[in-house]
Amino acid sequence: MTKLPTPATVIPATLIDDEKPLEEQLSEPIVLAERVRELANESTSFIHDCCELAKYVDRLAHMLRSLVRFTTANSSAIYDRPLRRISAEVSRTLHRTHTLVRKCRRRSTFFHRLVKLITAADFRKLLSLLDNSAADLRWLISVFHVDANDDNVNNDDVVLSLPPIASNDPILAWVWSYTATVQMGSSLPARIEAGHEIGFLARDNDRNKKIIVEEGGVPPLLRLLKEMNSAEAQITAATALYNVANDGDRVRVIVDCLGVPLIVQVLGDSPMRVQVKMAELVARMAEFDGGVAREEFGRENVIRPLVSLLSFEMLEDEPELMKKNHHSIHSIVQINREKERLGGESWKPKLNSSYSSFSSLYSDVGVSKGGQTRKGRGNESAEVKMELKISCAKALWMLSKDSVINSHRITETKGLLSLAKLIERETGELRKNCVMAVMEITLAAESNADLRRSAFKTSSPAGKAVVVQLLRVIKESSDPVLQIAAIKSIGCLSRTFSAKETRVIGPLVEQLSRNNHEVGTEAAVALAKFVDPENFLCHEHSKAIIEFDGVVPLLRLLRESERAQVNGLVLLCHLAINAGNSEALERARLLTALEGTDRNLTAQYPQLRELIVKAMYHLGLYHGDAHPLRQTSMRV
């Protein structure tokens, strides 16, 4: 007996040929239907059954022709994913129908019927499959509103019925219906409502997100995002894309659909509540696909509008400060110098550097099509303004993560100064995001000398402001997360501080005595970068740590976790090597402490073992305790 597929069979997405033109894919089942009808007319056995099949096939051909006419008239805006899936399934059924009817065209003898094993059950199964295909096509016609000219048809309705092809997976049918409405709907409210539903589906679970992306849901959402005259439409699209973009592969789909330039455009040219969602989307995409998305956003210069939006309130404060300080002695001296340099009538008084830089930034993204001028921004609620700053700070944090190029761009747009001022003024999540962004920038600067010299040189006002605020966080914050981030940042900048700048050493040494051992361990890691031999001022920094009484708390740190022990020993060894003649090391009995180091620990870290031997040797030289037996015992 001929084997036929079950009614609920769904063709996998990987088997659909998306490269084939849609008209060509739809014409294939129409041609097959014509052939089946001709063969049915020529049948010599099971004539009644073949005629019944031909009637079903004619109905399919009629619906397929309607769809071809519709797609031809709307080729630029058609949502083709369900069309391709259902037409492929219809073609599959028609192929089987063609095979069966062709067998009935030959001589009908008992012998031939016995050999070909054709039974009435085969026709019943085929009729069931053809009925399912007809139901699929009717569903497709209703979803696409092919009969929209009919007065009884509401073109804004979203069809939520289940076609047979998706009877085992209702989510697939819902995604098709909602996406078709977002892509092809004639009413903007209906498109917005469908976009909301896609966002709700994406929020539920990762499987829904995968289906939405695989079934081509991203381009329609990006098209909805282009509705510049509707803030609600843009927020809906941004929310749905945000819910989808929690995986690197799905983020790359958004990038491949040219979503990044559109997102950057909307970010700089929309009302503030839309900009909040766009900044959140930028942060989400940069977080889950650090390579491609961060690079694309950097190339599209998203950092400039982000910094501008982050600091727009600071710009509004600057004129007041200028008025207050306009007649100060310093301003008069600066004006006279500028006048002498430029001379004559060509001289015009300049604003201070921070004001001019903020002003240039703000002017680029200051007015949007949504009427969001500086005055319009002032009318927004404080909650919306805070959300915008939080989302922009997080976006900068994620964009700068593991990216020297983006970190460089942030420092070039005066972003460091904005972050420093927000760390000083704000609290809560905004302050955290700003500190984390600074941490990522300093991590990049640690590995890139050009960035370190340009952004954190001693004469840089922004660099100085950042260091001041980082030290303030280390001293005053009660949040270990913020303290650890600030300590890491100071450690990354260890090569930028001169020997006289001991103000950064003291707060780090104080953290060695804190009850939170993770903070103390991170302080030991940061201090180790100051005394590392690669640091030109390692000897001066070592003396400063000892002068701030850092040896005793370091010895106490050795009783904690393995990570604390390893980093504490590294710092102590460098102190012994760089300042072995210090009496504070002898009073703390550092040599005895190094001798008592756990052998299991040194076995796991051979480099640490060599460092301990070297430190013991230096301590012995300066304090007369260089016992060969001790050194030999450490080498064994």
Count of residues making up the chain: 636
pLDDT above 70 coverage of the chain, percent: 81
Structural contact between residues 581 and 539, judged by C-beta atoms closer than 8 angstroms:
no
DSSP sequence for 421-456:
HHHHH--HHHHHHHHHHHHHHHHHHHH-HHHHHHHH
Residue type, 426: E
Residue type, 278: M
Q: Mean of the pLDDT values across residues 191-198?
A: 94
Across all residues in the chain, what is the average pLDDT?
81
Tell me how crowded residue 324 is: count the other CB atoms within 10 A of its CB.
9
Between CA 611 and CA 631 the distance in angstroms is 12
Tell me how crowded residue 601 is: count the other CB atoms within 10 A of its CB.
16
Domain assignments of the chain as residue spans, ordered by start: 13-151, 170-302, 303-335+351-494, 497-636
| Most confidently predicted of 107-121, 254-268, 325-339 | 254-268
Task: Say which residues have a Cβ less than 8 Å from residue 20's Cβ, sequence separation at least 6.
Answer: none
DSSP sequence for 461-511:
HHHHHHHHHHHHHHHH---HHHHHHHHHHHHHTGGG--TT-GGGHHHHHHH
pLDDT band at 113 (very low <50, low <70, confident <90, very high): low
* Range of lowest pLDDT (117-126, 283-292, 331-340): 331-340
pLDDT at 43 exceeding the cut of 60:
yes
Comparison of pLDDT for 343 and 435, the residue scoring more: 435
Comparison of pLDDT for 203 and 111, the residue scoring more: 203
Residue 51: what pLDDT? 86
Residue 191: what pLDDT? 93
Q: Dihedral (C-alpha) 612, 615, 620, 623: value to the nearest 10 degrees?
A: -130
Q: Mean of the pLDDT values across residues 522-529?
A: 93
Between CA 232 and CA 227 the distance in angstroms is 9
Residue 14: what pLDDT? 38
**What distance, in Å, lies between the first and last C-alpha atoms of the chain?**
81
Residue with tokens 């501080």: 497
The CATH number assigned to the domain with range 170-302 reads 1.25.10.10
Residue 468: what pLDDT? 93
DSSP-derived secondary structure letter, 525: H
* Range of lowest pLDDT (47-51, 217-221, 337-341): 337-341
Among candidate residues 67, 68, 129, 66, the one with its CA nearest the CA of residue 97: 129
Q: Mean of the pLDDT values across residues 250-267?
A: 94
DSSP sequence for 65-113:
HHHHHHHHHTTTT---HHHHHHHHHHHHHHHHHHHHHHHTTS---HHHH
Residue 633: what pLDDT? 43
Among candidate residues 244, 240, 147, 258, the one with its CA nearest the CA of residue 192: 240
| Most confidently predicted of 117-126, 161-170, 328-337 | 161-170
How do residues 131-185 score in pLDDT, each as one tens digit? 999 999 999 999 888 765 555 555 566 778 889 999 889 999 999 999 999 998 8
DSSP sequence for 391-412:
HHHHHHHHHHTT-HHHHHHHHH
Residue type, 333: V
Superfamily of domain 497-636: Leucine-rich Repeat Variant (1.25.10.10)
pLDDT at 349 exceeding the cut of 50:
no
* Range of lowest pLDDT (12-26, 283-297, 506-520): 12-26
Residue 557: what pLDDT? 86
* Range of lowest pLDDT (203-217, 273-287, 333-347, 525-539): 333-347
Residue 7: what pLDDT? 39
Comparison of pLDDT for 580 and 161, the residue scoring more: 161
330-342 burial string, b = 16+ CB within 10 Å, else e?
A: eeeeeeeeeeeee
Tell me how crowded residue 287 is: count the other CB atoms within 10 A of its CB.
20
pLDDT at 625 exceeding the cut of 60:
no
Q: Mean of the pLDDT values across residues 104-131?
A: 72
Residue 114: what pLDDT? 53
Tell me how crowded residue 154 is: count the other CB atoms within 10 A of its CB.
11
CA distances from 410 to 266, 403, 446 (A): 20, 11, 16
Residue 110: what pLDDT? 57
Comparison of pLDDT for 333 and 340, the residue scoring more: 340
pLDDT at 348 exceeding the cut of 70:
no
Residue 278: what pLDDT? 96
pLDDT band at 623 (very low <50, low <70, confident <90, very high): low
Q: Do domains 170-302 and 497-636 have the same CATH topology?
A: yes
Residue 346: what pLDDT? 40
Between CA 548 and CA 509 the distance in angstroms is 7
pLDDT at 213 exceeding the cut of 90:
yes
pLDDT at 103 exceeding the cut of 90:
no
pLDDT at 341 exceeding the cut of 60:
no
pLDDT band at 332 (very low <50, low <70, confident <90, very high): very low
pLDDT at 12 exceeding the cut of 50:
no
Residue with tokens 């300042």: 579
Q: Mean of the pLDDT values across residues 429-447?
A: 94
Residue 377: what pLDDT? 61
Between CA 397 and CA 284 the distance in angstroms is 11
* Range of lowest pLDDT (125-139, 465-479, 510-524, 586-600): 586-600
Between CA 369 and CA 132 the distance in angstroms is 49
Among candidate residues 528, 612, 521, 605, the one with its CA nearest the CA of residue 561: 521
Structural contact between residues 594 and 604, judged by C-beta atoms closer than 8 angstroms:
no
pLDDT at 52 exceeding the cut of 50:
yes
How do residues 223-248 score in pLDDT, each as one tens digit? 999 998 899 999 999 999 999 999 99
Between CA 118 and CA 100 the distance in angstroms is 8
pLDDT at 102 exceeding the cut of 80:
yes
pLDDT band at 315 (very low <50, low <70, confident <90, very high): low
